[in-house]
């Protein structure tokens, strides 16, 4: 009798639990680059969304992916956010008018900048205990 396969374990309720990447708290970003970020003694490959409820893996790879639906989690926490920093990769990409209007409707001031500048600004505002969120595209 061999070890059960992942499929068999899954059927028995003992399989590997796949969850969305999430750090349940606020933390400064220690480093960025090589396609990811370091924070809270951990690393994450890919883009991240930093919200008052935590830091989440974000399924956004390029500025073209910045659609309103990518910000559902942010909109859900809008009452706790005053400023959104949008790190758009290596280059500055302006925030689309549809997004800017949606953020303004929720009383969120949104600014776009390169990811490096967004990380530095996020860390400063976080240290000042400001109501800041950040959407950071990996570089």
Q: What is the CATH number of the domain that holds 100?
A: 3.40.1230.10
pTM score: 0.84
What pLDDT does residue 106 have?
Answer: 98
pLDDT value of position 63:
95
- The confidence score (pLDDT) of residue 124 equals 98
42 pairs with which residues across the strands?
Answer: 39
* pLDDT at residue number 1: 47
In the prediction, which pLDDT does 7 show?
52
d(CA 125, CA 132): 7
Report yes or no on 7 lying in a domain. no
Gap between the Cα atoms of 69 and 48, Å rounded? 15
In a domain, 2, yes or no: no
- Structural domain including 52 reads 20-136
In a domain, 3, yes or no: no
30 falls within a domain? yes
Structural domain tally of the chain?
1
Tens digit of pLDDT per residue, the chain (139 long)?
Answer: 455 554 554 455 555 544 466 788 899 999 999 999 999 999 999 999 999 999 999 999 999 999 999 999 999 999 999 999 999 999 999 999 999 999 999 999 999 999 999 999 999 999 999 999 999 999 9
Structural domain includes residue 118: yes
DSSP 50-84: EETTEEEEE---SGGG--GGGGHHHHHTGGG-SEE
CB atoms < 10 A from the CB of 50, how many? 29
């Amino acid at each position: 009798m061999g070890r059960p396969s992942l499929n068999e374990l899954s059927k028995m309720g003992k399989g590997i639990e796949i969850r969305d990447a999430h750090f349940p708290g606020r933390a400064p970003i220690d480093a960025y680059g090589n396609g990811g970020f370091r924070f809270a003694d951990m690393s994450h490959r890919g883009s991240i969304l930093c919200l008052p409820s935590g830091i989440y893996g974000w399924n956004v790879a390029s500025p073209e992916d910045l659609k309103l639906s990518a910000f559902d989690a942010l909109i859900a926490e809008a009452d706790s956010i005053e400023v959104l920093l949008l790190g758009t990769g290596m280059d500055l990409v302006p925030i689309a008018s549809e997004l800017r209007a949606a953020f303004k409707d929720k009383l969120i001031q949104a600014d776009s900048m390169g990811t490096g500048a967004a990380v530095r600004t996020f860390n400063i505002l976080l240290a000042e205990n400001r109501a800041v969120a950040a959407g950071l595209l990996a570089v």
